[in-house]
Structure 1
């Protein structure tokens, strides 16, 4: 969480707000006019976060890439795993880009307003944290299928077990 006392809470254009959000976290990022890319270290891997603003449609598309590439021979199993995982999600979805075998999480937000649409700190935080949280939560499912020899059903069952207590 950000120290909100030190963060400019004033609403801003979507890419401007995300740039401030990434900078406040100390995450490396690069910005172009309507797009921003950041790198974030998670507990499983490093994630590339990418946001693309389409002002004419009032849509902010947010993508998270968990550094998973799927070989052709594993795609059927991963597509099944993606289907099972997506049933668990309230926001966004996972998908596999067919041309490159890259797995990603994608979510789009409609941002409307008279001034072309602004993003609040709360909206930025929801977009970013939801993407990271879902990637962290389901990364093991994809790894169990790709490297652990588990079926998608076994993988999701193993990954969603909630532990109790501390070791």
Structure 2
């Protein structure tokens, strides 16, 4: 497909954004493993659990896929309720979405960054991506727990987890 914004620039090369991700991860002093030129895995501490961060770069389509996996697994009997919760939680997100790893039953936050036409991702964009993902994971973690281990319905879990406290104790 031709570049309609700048027809003279039909081919634009994006440098590997995982190099920048590696710098951001290092600055946070998180453990990481640069598995290849296209894969990077890291671990970030949250308030509720540690999150497995995974970044994958596709040079062919200039997209960086990102996921943050929860340190929890849903038993098979709870997965239908968890799928309902995922759908309801996704309605409340501005970017990214929640899914579940089918094999393990692990909830996962996912997002993809389109980088075609840019020289590379900005450090601020990478930082925001990670910050938003962890914030959303932390916000919905109690709801996932209520469904998986508390036997609550998706609606009950969201109502309980999204309860906003007012004032000071």
TM-score by length of 1: 0.88
User: What is the SS of the residue equivalent to 2:99?
Assistant: strand
Change (3 A) 1:125 1:12: farther
User: What is the SS of the residue equivalent to 1:88?
Assistant: coil
**Counterpart of 1:89?**
93
Q: CA deviation at 1:20?
A: 0.2
1:71 to 65, 70, 75: 75
Give the conservation status (yes or no) of the 8 Å contact 2:16–2:57.
Answer: no
User: What is the SS of the residue equivalent to 2:95?
Assistant: coil
Unpaired runs of 5+ residues, structure 1, are 1-10
TM-score by length of 2: 0.87
Change (3 A) 1:149 1:100: closer
**Counterpart of 1:3?**
none
Unpaired runs of 5+ residues, structure 2, are 1-13
Q: What is the distance in 1 between the residues matched to 2:151 and 2:42?
A: 32
User: What is the SS of the residue equivalent to 1:100?
Assistant: coil
Pairwise mapping of residues 87-166 of structure 1 onto structure 2 (< 5 A)?
Answer: 87-113=91-117, 117-166=119-168
2:19 to 12, 16, 20: 16
Q: What is the distance in 2 between the residues matched to 1:125 and 1:54?
A: 20
Q: CA deviation at 1:97?
A: 2.0
Q: What is the distance in 1 between the residues matched to 2:15 and 2:166?
A: 41
Q: What is the distance in 2 between the residues matched to 1:23 and 1:12?
A: 19
